[in-house]
Structure 1
């Protein structure tokens, strides 16, 4: 029998009840029940990506994870979604341990979750956002530096992380650039309570991303994870591809036409009516200060990601990726990955010179 990897208790493990201070974030189309339950069984915090799920599918996914594992796990929600309150109710009714948010949830949503005993962990990309959600009662915060995949900012983790750690009195989870035990120890040295590793968990044998897509990731260098605003009008770190080059060359009219087509596809897939879709768009516009053209462009994201992450069509879709992709060269199981990270972290810590 393989020995359990060494534990490393932190404020994150104590808050969430997991064994290891590692988080698999809620990636849309990627973080489904199979990956989340495998991460949870490995002793880390797996988080379901629910933004692309209907409420009915969300409840079914939560129950599927629960049928696969007894370990704690979380669900990522869109705070600006028109049905956010309904989704929060599902989490509470189903006894989910952790709720994470891609945008800052309202003070009322935080209070409702906390009153039900749910741990609230918003994701932020700036110190002021961390200070705001901490003041509203968030239990912890996940801070992503510019190296991270998907929507990202321009400040590196090594600058942003200590800035946020110094600004708030709640546990901080570091994201953007992490894939191994050395990174975990470095984050802890900065004052973080753990790390999130999106790209690294995407590239595991437990991930349902098609093999051909995983091969594209494994063949990529750090420089291939570029930032573009042509997917949905916001800075988005994705892998370089012919489609991305085409998006960069396309004019505004072509981009808006593509967005309208994708909005219609996502409406059918999500079960939303046009009124609900417009309501969510208005909420997104207020939350991020976007123009209506940027809101329309945002419809590109879920469908372009689905084309690659679900359908395996890298010619028709985009692949969100952190720069750390250049350091990943294998597809371990989640148990193997977590064990490797924790063993390496223990070894790194043992080699550090003693103070005195």
Structure 2
């Protein structure tokens, strides 16, 4: 199945594995790339040196194209862009809209630029700045999310920009791929579905918590960092929502200190990163600190397996997933289902398309 996404990135199938912090490392990205989809390394939870090492590890395991997700607001964003360029990475994606200069620098080096957006106006902005494609996530998606459903946001963006659009938020199978293509998308991106594979490095107890979740167990909360954040509702998340301002601030300071030790970041750098997220938003200082060290809460679950002390970002689609295929099995299944759906669609005269 060839689409504008496969032509642009060089992958075999129009499927993207999103850059999930602590999850989308060399192991998952390599497995995704080998399966013919576009794997995206999550660099926000890596040091710059760690990012370079991760890129080289993937390159040593596969010749297939892959990408790196970058934080445009990070203090060392330009250094990380240079790593992507120097190492010959095919795709750069961004969690926040990159500047016009960063887009130009990447494009001049032949890197495909695919920012992630959650609103039509953001898609129009990065398209005007030269982005090659855009990934649009509806409210069903995991992590930081907006309030507009994919089925409403996706056609809005497709109609507004003249570049390929990748659909994210609520996708997990071949039916979703066909639906996205029908809306005009060039492919789909999946996070939770790739997290729940045998190639994902997430500890078994955490995967079990996801598999046990129903659609109603996936919630949106502002208690973690002041921004809408979709995740599994756990006792720990409930405790964060019930914590007072003083307790929240004390906990934020403790976790910030821990993240500083893990990441090697300085206090001024952490504050700058937190302020970048605070800009334009009415956040308390406790929330600013939490915004700077939210990776610690994710790491507790995704790396250490502490479902009782960490947060588990999740799309609503977790309530529909009940198995742990390999990335190869998953991609093959999605493509097979898509072909079956396409073959069963009725023609205007009532016959199935063959």
Q: Which TM-score band (shorter chain)?
A: over 0.9
1:127 aligned residue (90, 103, 120): 120
Q: What is the match of residue 189 of structure 1?
A: 182
Conserved 8 A contact 2:271-2:292: no
Deviations 1:208-243 (A, max 9, x none): 000111011001101111000001110001101110
For the residue of structure 2 that corresponds to 1:64, the secondary structure is: helix
Q: What is the match of residue 3 of structure 1?
A: none
Conserved 8 A contact 1:165-1:172: yes
1:263 aligned residue (247, 250, 256): 256
| Count of residues in Structure 1 that have an aligned counterpart in Structure 2 | 348
- Is 1:282–2:275 an aligned residue pair? yes
Following the alignment from structure 1 to structure 2, what is the Cα–Cα distance between the partners of residues 275 and 255? 21
- Is 1:100–2:108 an aligned residue pair? no
Shift of 1:58: 0.2
Shift of 1:354: 2.5
- Is 1:337–2:324 an aligned residue pair? no
Shift of 1:290: 5.1
Change (3 A) 1:181 1:56: same
For the residue of structure 2 that corresponds to 1:350, the secondary structure is: helix
Following the alignment from structure 1 to structure 2, what is the Cα–Cα distance between the partners of residues 264 and 348? 51
Shift of 1:250: 0.7
Conserved 8 A contact 2:211-2:323: yes
Q: What is the match of residue 5 of structure 1?
A: none
Shift of 1:67: 0.8
Conserved 8 A contact 1:20-1:43: yes
- Is 1:20–2:13 an aligned residue pair? yes
- Is 1:170–2:163 an aligned residue pair? yes
Change (3 A) 1:282 1:242: closer
Shift of 1:289: 3.8
For the residue of structure 1 that corresponds to 2:202, the secondary structure is: coil
2:108 aligned residue (93, 107, 115): 115
Q: What is the match of residue 244 of structure 1?
A: 237
1:350 aligned residue (338, 343, 346): 343
Q: What is the match of residue 70 of structure 1?
A: 63
TM-score normalised to structure 1 length? 0.96
Q: What is the match of residue 219 of structure 2?
A: 226
- Is 1:198–2:191 an aligned residue pair? yes
Following the alignment from structure 1 to structure 2, what is the Cα–Cα distance between the partners of residues 261 and 170? 44
TM-score normalised to structure 2 length? 0.96
Deviates most, 257-266 or 84-93: 257-266
Deviations 1:50-82 (A, max 9, x none): 101000000000000011111000000000000
Deviates most, 181-190 or 277-286: 277-286
Following the alignment from structure 1 to structure 2, what is the Cα–Cα distance between the partners of residues 355 and 116? 47
Q: What is the match of residue 206 of structure 2?
A: 213
For the residue of structure 1 that corresponds to 2:310, the secondary structure is: coil
Consecutive unaligned residues of structure 1, counting only runs of 5 or more, are 1-7
For the residue of structure 1 that corresponds to 2:57, the secondary structure is: helix
Change (3 A) 1:229 1:72: same
Shift of 1:299: 2.9
Following the alignment from structure 2 to structure 1, what is the Cα–Cα distance between the partners of residues 52 and 116? 22
Following the alignment from structure 1 to structure 2, what is the Cα–Cα distance between the partners of residues 335 and 34? 13
Shift of 1:282: 3.3
Following the alignment from structure 2 to structure 1, what is the Cα–Cα distance between the partners of residues 239 and 278? 26
For the residue of structure 1 that corresponds to 2:121, the secondary structure is: helix
RMSD: 1.1
Conserved 8 A contact 2:277-2:291: no
For the residue of structure 2 that corresponds to 1:299, the secondary structure is: helix
Deviations 1:9-54 (A, max 9, x none): 1000000000000000000000000000000000000000010100
Shift of 1:267: 1.3
Following the alignment from structure 1 to structure 2, what is the Cα–Cα distance between the partners of residues 52 and 175? 21
Consecutive unaligned residues of structure 2, counting only runs of 5 or more, are 350-354
Shift of 1:297: 2.5
Compare relative contact order (CA 8 Å, sep 6+) and give the higher one, 1 or 2: 1
Following the alignment from structure 1 to structure 2, what is the Cα–Cα distance between the partners of residues 254 and 300? 16
